[in-house]
Copies of this chain bind each other. A is one copy, B any other.
Amino acid sequence: MKIIRSVRAMGKEIKRLKKNGKIIGLVPTMGYLHKGHISLLNRGRKENDILIMSIFVNPIQFGPEEDIKRYPRDIQRDKAIAVREKVDIIFYPRARDMYPSEFRTYVDVERVTEGLCGGRRPGHFRGVATVVAKLFNIVMPDRAYFGQKDAQQAIVIRKMVKDLNMPVKIKTMPIVREKDGMAISSRNKYLDNKERRAGLVLSQSLKEAKDLVKRGIKDVSIIKRKVTELIRTEKPACIDYVEIVDKEKLERLKYIKKGHTLIALAVYINKTRLIDNITL
């Protein structure tokens, strides 16, 4: 396994691989790998000649008040996992190489970035779209893999790729959960035992919503109220949003549209913001 840190060196390596007709898969990550990432690596390994994983905690997708410094890192552990998962290349660039001081160009995806996390984290998806555009231009993957846990992110990236005609296929992989249902996330590490138990309310309330729909309830306001009530039973939980939207356009629904509905949550457990979602 190679570890490449410079953007220029990565570009050269890709040129060489492309010349030899290699099909390239990219799993973009911010490191601190967990089972969610590993599911992306597994699929990427199966579908491509060359599997590249990027590790980059992207500064421009964090707001000034957000947790970039606190964001967990463990490059040695990540390397060991990458070897085990048969990654060919880790692309691990430095922030000053990705964003030199005179950096001025951004990719803006409008509309689908306005609600949900986009409304709460201004500039977040601008940062995500921009770094992903850069990674795609550097690595030139045939396929790139994203997790459904960041549902809005996956939609924003699909929209960018389609609108800008980027020659890459986006694959979105299902949420990986702990046995008790908790969606796996790097940020779960911030939680103490009590908070971890409280955090379970996200997946539980989504399950409750699903059950309500199964029982024939279609009115979004009823489901939203039930979900909100359930989350509020947990003392450390503070709702950022509960949204029931069209799963592609992310526009709010009044009634559940079977096969087209995304229920997405963001909930603070004390200081830690957790997200989860299901599609119906």
Closest partner residue, chain B, to A18 (CB atom):
B18
CB under 8 Å from chain B, chain A span 127-175: 129-130, 133-134, 137-138, 140, 159-160, 163-167
Please tell me which one of the listed residues B7, B21, B103, B163 contacts residue A104 in the complex, with CB atoms under 8 A apart.
B163
The answer to whether A159 and B105 touch across the interface, beta carbons within 8 angstroms, is: yes
Query: Is A19 interfacial (CB 8 A cutoff)?
Result: yes
> Which B residues are CB-close (under 8 A) to A166?
137
Q: Which residue of B lies closest to A163 (CB)?
A: B105
Residue A198 at the B interface, CB < 8 A?
A: no
Binds B, one of A25-33, A106-114, A221-229, A263-271: A106-114
Chain B residue contacts of A107, Cβ below 8 A: 105-108, 164
Tell me which of B19, B111, B167 contacts A21 (CB under 8 A): B19
Report Cα–Cα, A166/B167, bound state, in Å: 13
- How does the 8 Å CB contact mask read for A184-214 relative to B, with 1 for contact and 0 for none? 0000000000000000000000000000000
A261 to B123, CA, bound (A): 35
Interface string of A1-39 (1 = CB under 8 A from B): 000000100010000001101000000000000000000
Q: How many copies does the complex hold?
A: 2
Residues of B within 8 A of A134 (CB): 163-165
CA distance A140 to B81 in the complex (A): 34
Given contacts A19-B21, A21-B19, contact A167 B104 (CB under 8 A): no
Task: Give A164 to B19 CA distance when docked, in angstroms.
Answer: 22
Contacts of A165 in B (CB 8 A): 7, 11, 134, 137-138
Partner of A105, one of B103, B105, B109: B109
Known contacts A21-B19, A159-B105: does B167 contact A140 (CB below 8 Å)?
yes
Known: A19-B21, A21-B19. A137 touches B167 (CB 8 A): yes
Q: In the assembly, what is the distance between CA of A159 and CA of B103, in Å?
A: 8
Cα A67 to Cα B208 with chains together (Å): 57
Contact B105 A160 (CB under 8 A): yes
A-B contact pairs, 25 of them (CB 8 A): A7-B165, A11-B165, A11-B167, A18-B18, A104-B109, A104-B110, A104-B111, A104-B112, A104-B163, A105-B107, A105-B109, A105-B110, A105-B129, A105-B159, A105-B160, A105-B163, A106-B110, A130-B164, A134-B163, A134-B165, A137-B164, A137-B165, A137-B166, A138-B165, A140-B167
**Given A104-B110, A107-B107, A133-B164: 20 more A-B contacts, CB < 8 Å:** A11-B165, A19-B21, A105-B107, A105-B110, A105-B129, A105-B159, A106-B107, A107-B108, A107-B164, A108-B108, A130-B164, A134-B163, A134-B164, A134-B165, A137-B164, A137-B165, A137-B166, A137-B167, A138-B165, A140-B167
